Amino acid sequence: MNKIYLDNAATTPLSEEVIDAMVSTMKMNFGNPSSTHSFGQEAKILIENVRRQVADYLHVSPAEIIFTSCGTESNNMIIKSSVEHLGIERIISTPMEHKCVSETVLDMKNRKGVEVNYIRPNEKGDIDLHQLEELLKASDKKTLVSLMHANNEIGNIVDIKKIAELCKENNALFHSDTVQTMAHMNLDFSEIKVDFASCSAHKFHGPKGVGFAFIRKATGMKGIITGGPQERSLRAGTENVSGIVGLGKALEISLQHMEEYTQHMQEIKDYTIERLSDAIPGIKFNGRSAEKENSLYTVLSALLPYKNPLIGLQLDMKGIAISQGSACSSGASKPSMVMMMVLSEDEMDHCTPLRISFSHMTTKAEIDALAEALEEISKDYAIEKTNVEHR
Ligand code: PLP
């Protein structure tokens, strides 16, 4: 059985060039980048080259790029350090952030007494920028706004340029979790005035265990991991040299092919919408997921018109990997906050969400296989439903 991978928002397969670059670094450049001898300095040069490459991509200074272990660490560092070192007393966020943001925000509320204001998204998953503006104007407390660029479950994209402007006008700092958009979109932070952003290499065919935080120099941010001068003392600890080289190679490939990859994935996404709409009458798409504007081309969030908590397992048995989402799952697992925001209670009780996420390697034949598998599984539910309705 040829296995089909449609869970690229969770992680992506490493590209061959990335593996080669990493293996070569592990073999040839094992020096500690903090060592002053040539072994160390060769490793250091590799890191600094990637830092410059990332900085060029984002149109920022290399000093503003801090390598970390992942997106989660970057987001934790930004939020915790803002409270600890920059005097943040209030955070404005949404209930739809990734848990590494929402739980860190809650932690700051519980342990540090930070006031937290939530913007409640509408049923499409949109946030109201007027509400943000009102909240910003409503208090003199030193404020951090934390809003993700693209939602990892439904793919909605927010206008971070506009949000950054609103934050500047109101003296607030702005953090955007850009894990799902880094290397997938052109991001020019000389135009988009975010103060902080995050990246994770494994979301764009790089390795796991490496990412970076963008920290705008003017904020004066300090680190929370102490014990060494690495990463300009913002993140102590010997750097993951081969991981950073892998991140650089993955970024290079993504940027080289961005137009072609974007077009391919948008076509695949459109084809998926078409095929699934034909195969499963009554299927819906969540948030802005099925729209071209303000929706990430890598993510499609679908809603099957029947409840089947086992759908992920059934597809997996047919060799197809997708993420089930958790809105209608059985037993212990709780609905995700995102699904609670965008689905009605009726939909939560009677439907099944599916997150299908693409890469440049996804083919139409794979989408055909998904549509056929779902059609077959859905038949049983249609029959059950008909029987129930007949009685
Ligand atoms: N933020 C978003 C939006 C994500 O989708 C993810 C991963 O799924 C993360 C943060 C966490 O990234 P990492 O897996 O590198 O910790």
Q: What is the DSSP string of 180-240?
A: TTBTTB---TTTS--SEEEEEGGGGT--SS-EEEEE-GGG----SB-SS-GGGGTB-S---
Q: What is the pLDDT of residue 343?
A: 95
**Distance in Å, CA 200 to ligand 1 centroid:** 7
Q: Is 328 an annotated catalytic residue?
A: yes
Q: Does 200 share its domain with 348?
A: no
**Distance in Å, CA 212 to ligand 1 centroid:** 12
Q: Catalytic one among 70, 100, 199, 328?
A: 328
**Distance in Å, CA 181 to ligand 1 centroid:** 11
H or E segment and range at residue 63: none
Read off the pLDDT of each residue in 177-189 and give the average, rounded to a whole number.
98
Last residue of a domain, one of 256, 274, 304: 256
Task: Check pLDDT > 80 for residue 327.
Answer: no
Half-sphere exposure (Cβ direction) of 118: Cα atoms closer than 13 Å: 14
Q: Does 74 share its domain with 221?
A: yes
Task: Check pLDDT > 80 for residue 391.
Answer: no
**Distance in Å, CA 111 to ligand 1 centroid:** 23
Residue with CA at minimum distance from ligand 1 atom 7: 10
C-beta of 177 in contact with ligand 1 (< 6 A): yes
Last residue of a domain, one of 224, 256, 288: 256
Q: What is the pLDDT of residue 384?
A: 55
Q: Does 165 share its domain with 263?
A: no
User: Cα–Cα distance between 285 and 354 in angstroms, integer?
Assistant: 9
Q: Can you tell me which atom of ligand 1 is nearest the CA of 201?
A: 15
> Residue 307 — pLDDT band, cuts 50, 70, 90?
very high
Range of the domain at 289: 4-12+258-389
Share of the chain above pLDDT 90, in %: 92
Q: Does 220 share its domain with 266?
A: no
C-beta of 353 in contact with ligand 1 (< 6 A): no
Q: Does 102 share its domain with 243?
A: yes
C-beta of 148 in contact with ligand 1 (< 6 A): yes
How many other CB atoms are there within 10 angstroms of residue 162's CB atom? 12
User: Cα–Cα distance between 293 and 391 in angstroms, integer?
Assistant: 44
Q: Can you tell me which atom of ligand 1 is nearest the CA of 70?
A: 15
> If we measure between CA atoms, which residue out of 224, 203, 250 comes closest to residue 54?
250
Q: What is the mean pLDDT of the chain?
A: 94
Number of domains present in the structure of the chain: 2
**Distance in Å, CA 184 to ligand 1 centroid:** 14
Q: Does 122 share its domain with 192?
A: yes
Q: Can you tell me which atom of ligand 1 is nearest the CA of 75?
A: 10
**Distance in Å, CA 40 to ligand 1 centroid:** 31
The residue assigned the tokens 């197809």 is 320
Q: What is the pLDDT of residue 333?
A: 59
Task: Check pLDDT > 50 for residue 236.
Answer: yes
Q: Does 212 share its domain with 63?
A: yes
Question: At 140, which CATH number?
Answer: 3.40.640.10
Q: Does 157 share its domain with 228?
A: yes
Q: Does 264 share its domain with 218?
A: no
Q: Has this prediction a pTM greater than 0.85?
A: yes
**Distance in Å, CA 386 to ligand 1 centroid:** 41
Residue from 104, 152, 157, 208 whose mutation best tests the ligand 1 pocket (most atoms within 8 A of CB): 152
66-83: pLDDT as tens digits: 999 999 999 999 999 999
Q: Does 217 share its domain with 299?
A: no
Last residue of a domain, one of 256, 285, 304: 256
C-beta of 176 in contact with ligand 1 (< 6 A): no
Q: Does 221 share its domain with 150?
A: yes
C-beta of 96 in contact with ligand 1 (< 6 A): no
Residue 70: partners with Cβ closer than 8 Å, 6 or more residues away: 200, 202, 208, 209, 210, 211
Q: What is the pLDDT of residue 325?
A: 63
Q: What is the pLDDT of residue 383?
A: 57
Q: Does 192 share its domain with 305?
A: no
- Rounded to the nearest 5°, which phi and psi values hold at 359? -135, 180
> Residue 329 — pLDDT band, cuts 50, 70, 90?
very low
C-beta of 181 in contact with ligand 1 (< 6 A): no
C-beta of 91 in contact with ligand 1 (< 6 A): no
Q: What is the pLDDT of residue 326?
A: 41
Q: What is the pLDDT of residue 1?
A: 75
117-132: pLDDT as tens digits: 999 999 999 999 999 9
Q: Can you tell me which atom of ligand 1 is nearest the CA of 10?
A: 8
Residue from 179, 196, 240 whose mutation best tests the ligand 1 pocket (most atoms within 8 A of CB): 179
Task: Check pLDDT > 80 for residue 385.
Answer: no
